[in-house]
Amino acid sequence: MRKQMSKKHGGNLTILGKSKTKFPASPDKAKLETFENKYSNRDYWISFDCPEFTSICPVTSQPDFGIITIRYIPDKKCIESKSLKLYLFSFRNSATFHEEAVNRILDDIVKACNPRKALVTGEFRPRGGISICVEASYPEKE
């Protein structure tokens, strides 16, 4: 039943409905899947709140923790949430600065679904007494 639903509604979804989940080792190995936006005739926002984002500091190799929020207005395609979860999970063992992570996520969202607008925010827990908030938007603000 689940396979039929993903074929019927998503066309080429390969991750949703699998009984065993493979976790990608890095963002380069992760796949953001999409499905057809049946309401592409109107603007509406889709929001994903991801409160358990983790990555590795490229200098100290210590874990970094943060909240990633993704908001976008889809055009022809929408991001499938399970593939997004696995994609974000793939940062867990990746050495990346906060600024790089947020901008990479935005670039990959834009590449996957070509939204009308998108905003990715990363609110990272304090390290050394300073917390960092990074925001990247598409199209870029003028």
Residue 57 annotated in active site: yes
Question: What pLDDT does 1 receive?
Answer: 40
| pTM of the predicted model as reported, rounded to 2 decimal places | 0.85
Task: Inform me whether the pLDDT recorded for 116 exceeds 60.
Answer: yes
Catalytic residue among 64, 78, 108, 113: 64
Q: How many CB atoms lie within 10 A of CB 121?
A: 19
Residues facing residue 68 across a β-bridge = 50, 122
pLDDT of 21-59, one tens digit each? Answer: 788 888 999 999 999 999 999 999 999 999 999 999 999
Q: Please give the share of the chain, as a percent, with pLDDT higher than 70.
A: 86
Question: What pLDDT does 23 receive?
Answer: 85
Q: How many CB atoms lie within 10 A of CB 98?
A: 20
Catalytic residue among 50, 57, 75, 107: 57
What does the buried/exposed string (b/e) look like for 51-70 if buried means 16 or more CB atoms within 10 Å of the residue's CB? eebebbeeeeeeebebebbb
Strand-strand pairing, 117-127 and 63-73: antiparallel
Q: Enumerate domains of the chain plus CATH numbers.
A: 20-138 (3.30.1130.10)
Q: How many CB atoms lie within 10 A of CB 46?
A: 16
